[in-house]
Amino acid sequence: MNTSENRMIEENQKLMENKFYNDILPLNRSGWLTTEMFIKAVVDLLLEFIKETNNPNTKVINFHHPTELIAKLDLRIPINPTSLQKVIEDCKEVLKYQVRTGHPRFFNQLSTGLDLISMIGEWLTATVNTNIPGGAISNLYAVNAARHYMFPRCKAIGMVETPNLAMFTSEDSHYSIRGAAALVGIGVDNCFPIPVDEKGKMIPSKLEEEVILAKKNGYVPFFVCAVGGTTVYGAFDPINEIANICKKYRMWLHVDAAWGGGILLSKKHRHLANGIEKADSVTWNPHKLMGALLQCSACLICHEGLLFQCNQMCADYLFQQDKPYDVSYDSGDKAIQCGRHNDVFKLWIMWRAKGMNGFEQQVNRLMELAKYFTEKIKKTPGYELIMENPEFLNICFWYVPKNVRHLESTEKKARLDKVAPKIKAKMMSSGSTMVGYQPDKDKPNFFRMIISNPATTYEDLDFFIEEIIRLGESL
Residues numbered 273 to 312 that lie near its own copies (CB under 8 A) are 285, 287-289, 291-295, 311
- How far apart CA 256 and CA 280 sit, in angstroms, is 11
- 207, 246 contact by CB (below 8 A): no
Scanning residues 320 to 339, which ones bind its own copies (CB under 8 A)?
A: 320, 322-324, 335-339
315, 321, 325, 329 alpha-carbon torsion, rounded to 10°: 50
Of 147, 151, 131, 130, the residue nearest 139 (C-alpha): 147
User: Per rule CB under 8 A, is residue 128 in the interface with its own copies?
Assistant: yes
Scanning residues 410 to 449, which ones bind its own copies (CB under 8 A)?
A: 421, 424-425, 428-440, 445, 449
281 Cβ neighbours under 8 A, 6+ residues apart? 141, 142, 145, 146, 252, 253, 254, 255, 299, 300, 301, 302
* Closer Cβ to its own copies, 258 or 279, answer by number: 258
- At 298, give phi and psi (nearest 5°): -120, 145
Measured from the CB of residue 220, what is the shortest distance to its own copies in angstroms?
12
* Closer Cβ to its own copies, 71 or 344, answer by number: 344
User: Per rule CB under 8 A, is residue 42 in the interface with its own copies?
Assistant: yes
x/- site string to its own copies, residues 4 to 33, per CB under 8 A? -----------------x--xxx--x--x-
* Closer Cβ to its own copies, 201 or 424, answer by number: 424
User: Per rule CB under 8 A, is residue 372 in the interface with its own copies?
Assistant: no
Of 185, 232, 177, 237, the residue nearest 207 (C-alpha): 237
From residue 123, alpha-carbon distances to 52, 206, 443 in Å are: 20, 48, 41
- 262, 269 contact by CB (below 8 A): no
Measured from the CB of residue 307, what is the shortest distance to its own copies in angstroms?
13
Burial class (CB in 10 A: 0-12, 13-18, 19+), 339: exposed
Measured from the CB of residue 330, what is the shortest distance to its own copies in angstroms?
12
Burial 383-402 (b: 16+ CB within 10 A, else e): beebbeebbbbbbbbbbbbe
181: DSSP letter: H
User: Per rule CB under 8 A, is residue 387 in the interface with its own copies?
Assistant: no
User: Per rule CB under 8 A, is residue 134 in the interface with its own copies?
Assistant: yes
Measured from the CB of residue 83, what is the shortest distance to its own copies in angstroms?
12
User: Per rule CB under 8 A, is residue 361 in the interface with its own copies?
Assistant: no
DSSP characters over 298-341? EEEE-STTHHHHHH----TTTS-S--SS-GGG--GGG-SSSS--
The terminus-to-terminus CA distance of the chain in angstroms comes to 64
User: Per rule CB under 8 A, is residue 464 in the interface with its own copies?
Assistant: yes
236: DSSP letter: B
Of 207, 252, 254, 258, the residue nearest 229 (C-alpha): 258
Binder among 2, 131, 410, 474 for its own copies (CB under 8 A): 131
User: Per rule CB under 8 A, is residue 62 in the interface with its own copies?
Assistant: yes
207 Cβ neighbours under 8 A, 6+ residues apart? 168, 194, 224, 242, 245
- How far apart CA 390 and CA 16 sit, in angstroms, is 40
User: Per rule CB under 8 A, is residue 198 in the interface with its own copies?
Assistant: no
Scanning residues 249 to 278, which ones bind its own copies (CB under 8 A)?
A: 258-259
Binder among 74, 122, 209, 277 for its own copies (CB under 8 A): 122
* Closer Cβ to its own copies, 248 or 338, answer by number: 338
Scanning residues 338 to 357, which ones bind its own copies (CB under 8 A)?
A: 338-343, 345-350, 353-354
Binder among 164, 205, 274, 389 for its own copies (CB under 8 A): 164
Measured from the CB of residue 464, what is the shortest distance to its own copies in angstroms?
6
Measured from the CB of residue 406, what is the shortest distance to its own copies in angstroms?
25
Binder among 73, 94, 150, 385 for its own copies (CB under 8 A): 94
User: Per rule CB under 8 A, is residue 178 in the interface with its own copies?
Assistant: yes
Measured from the CB of residue 18, what is the shortest distance to its own copies in angstroms?
17
Q: What 3-state class would DSSP assign to 247? A: helix
* Closer Cβ to its own copies, 61 or 277, answer by number: 61
Sign of the CA dihedral 201, 206, 210, 211? positive
Measured from the CB of residue 285, what is the shortest distance to its own copies in angstroms?
7
User: Per rule CB under 8 A, is residue 222 in the interface with its own copies?
Assistant: no
User: Per rule CB under 8 A, is residue 385 in the interface with its own copies?
Assistant: no
Measured from the CB of residue 447, what is the shortest distance to its own copies in angstroms?
9
Measured from the CB of residue 46, what is the shortest distance to its own copies in angstroms?
5
* Closer Cβ to its own copies, 86 or 278, answer by number: 86
Measured from the CB of residue 205, what is the shortest distance to its own copies in angstroms?
25
Binder among 196, 299, 301, 450 for its own copies (CB under 8 A): 450
Burial class (CB in 10 A: 0-12, 13-18, 19+), 122: exposed
Options 114-122, 207-215, 239-247, 376-384: segment touching its own copies (CB under 8 A) = 114-122
User: Per rule CB under 8 A, is residue 61 in the interface with its own copies?
Assistant: yes
- 166, 190 contact by CB (below 8 A): yes
